[in-house]
Amino acid sequence: AAEKSALESSLAEAKEESEGLRGQIGELENNLNMKGDEIVALSAQVKEGNDQIKALEAAIAEVFSSYNPDDIKVEERDGKLYISMANSILFESGRDRLTDSSKMVVAMLADVFNSNQGLRIQVEGHTDSEPVVIHRNKYKDNWSLSVARSINVVRELEANGVDATRMTASGKGDTMPVASNDTEEGRMANRRTEFIVIPKIDGL
């Protein structure tokens, strides 16, 4: 009788453990299904973001079709859009303030950005390696000049209706050259303002 009771107790424990395992398996299946739904939603967001980038790329190309392609370059990389604009279009040498003509250029950019919501915009200022000559008391080095320029571009975009929460401003100075600073041609290429446009994707 004692042996039978022990076997019944063991059987009951085994059933309880089995039910617990079934419950855990069910929970895992639900989690996997939920993760699957999240992946589908994320994939849809990524596709929508890629479509927005392509639409923006086409719009930028159309708006600036009359400009020298060496002065305004547009390139899509890794789901981001890189718009590189020669500083000669936006700024006078050694200065951070936008001219009246460059404000018009920024306004054109703003119109395109405003027509493509759901995109974040990073504005980066870049310089060549030549030391700051004008306003040396105001700008310690090229880095501080590049930061001031990017901030003024962001402010001008905001003045033209681009939501400030979509934008960040930064300066790289001469730390990220795209050409050699040993030639004037290379230095011209390095003096640029870049607009890096990134889709807003929840979960990434």
Least confident of 64-68, 129-133, 170-174: 129-133
Average pLDDT on 135-162 reads 90
Q: Is the pLDDT of residue 73 over 80?
A: yes
Residue 131, pLDDT score = 87
* C-beta separation of 173 from 95 below 8 A: no
Encoding tokens for residue 46?
């990524």
Task: Provide the mean pLDDT of the chain.
Answer: 86
Q: Is the pLDDT of residue 159 over 90?
A: yes
Residue 42, pLDDT score = 63
Encoding tokens for residue 165?
């929460």
Dihedral sign computed on CA atoms, order 58, 150, 186, 133? positive
- Counting Cβ atoms within 10 Å, is residue 186 exposed (0-12), middle (13-18) or buried (19+)? middle
**Beta-carbon contacts of residue 57 (< 8 Å; ≥ 6 apart):** 74, 76, 81
The proportion of the chain whose per-residue pLDDT surpasses 70, expressed as a percent, equals: 82
Residue 139, pLDDT score = 78
Residue 127, pLDDT score = 94
Backbone angles phi, psi at 67, to 5 degrees: -85, 155
Higher pLDDT among residues 81 and 25, named by residue: 81
Residue 204, pLDDT score = 46
**Beta-carbon contacts of residue 127 (< 8 Å; ≥ 6 apart):** 87, 142, 145, 146, 173, 174, 190, 191
Residue 134, pLDDT score = 72
Higher pLDDT among residues 18 and 183, named by residue: 183
Average pLDDT on 8-31 reads 71
The proportion of the chain whose per-residue pLDDT surpasses 90, expressed as a percent, equals: 59
Tens digit of each residue's pLDDT (9 = 90 or more) over 92-117: 888 899 999 999 999 999 999 999 88
Three-state secondary-structure class, residue 196 = strand
Least confident of 1-10, 20-29, 105-114: 1-10
